[in-house]
Amino acid sequence: MTSKDIISLLPYADPFLFVDGLSIISGEGATGYYTFKEAEYFFKGHFKSHPITPGVILTECMAQIGVVCLGIYLLKDDITENFKPQIALTSSYVDFYLPVFPGETVTVISEKEVFRFNKLKCNVKLFNEKGELVCRGTISGMLKSKNHD
């Protein structure tokens, strides 16, 4: 399964897709990246004179790359032509240290803590272009394959 295959199975679309690519994916974790374009809808109001990426969007980016992409990879043996992943965020705890500005590319590194009974729990970190830690935490979700006819 390639990175493009995984991204094509994500249940998100623009303007709420926060995965540009995956550089590493294995049974133990995932590393991916996303560039926050200057025209992103949320920069217009957060904040008016000094736009930064909202923490909830950074959390979503980490969840999409670090939990959902990894979860799809872990479910790869269940994937058929009509595969549709069912995904639900169950918990998140994130500490924030630095802002992310319009035009910045971030890298997310996820390490699987546990995947049992369709629940995936990961330790995630998000770094800016300078390699500085922007935020880190733990995100969990329920993942299940559902085949549609």
Please give the C-alpha separations between residue 57 and each of 124, 136, 143, in angstroms, as whole numbers: 14, 13, 20
User: What one-letter code names the amino acid at 56?
Assistant: V
Residue 149 has pLDDT above 80, yes or no: no
- Alpha-carbon distance of 69 to 98, in angstroms, equals 24
Q: Which one from 17, 35, 46, 142 is the annotated catalytic residue?
A: 46
User: Exposed/middle/buried for 93, CB within 10 Å: 0-12, 13-18, 19+?
Assistant: exposed
Residues 32-50 pLDDT 10s: 999 999 999 999 999 989 9
46: annotated active-site residue: yes
- State residue 147's pLDDT score: 58
- State residue 38's pLDDT score: 96
Between vectors from CA 22 to CA 20 and to CA 24, what angle results, nearest 5°?
Answer: 165
CB atoms within 10 A of CB 74: 18
Residues 97-133 pLDDT 10s: 999 999 999 999 999 999 999 999 999 999 999 999 9
- State residue 146's pLDDT score: 67
Residues 4-19 pLDDT 10s: 999 999 999 999 999 9
Q: Which two tokens stand for residue 15?
A: 């303007």
- State residue 1's pLDDT score: 86
Residue 68 has pLDDT above 90, yes or no: yes
CATH of 3-147 given 3.50.50.60, 3.40.50.11890, 3.10.129.10, 3.40.109.10: 3.10.129.10
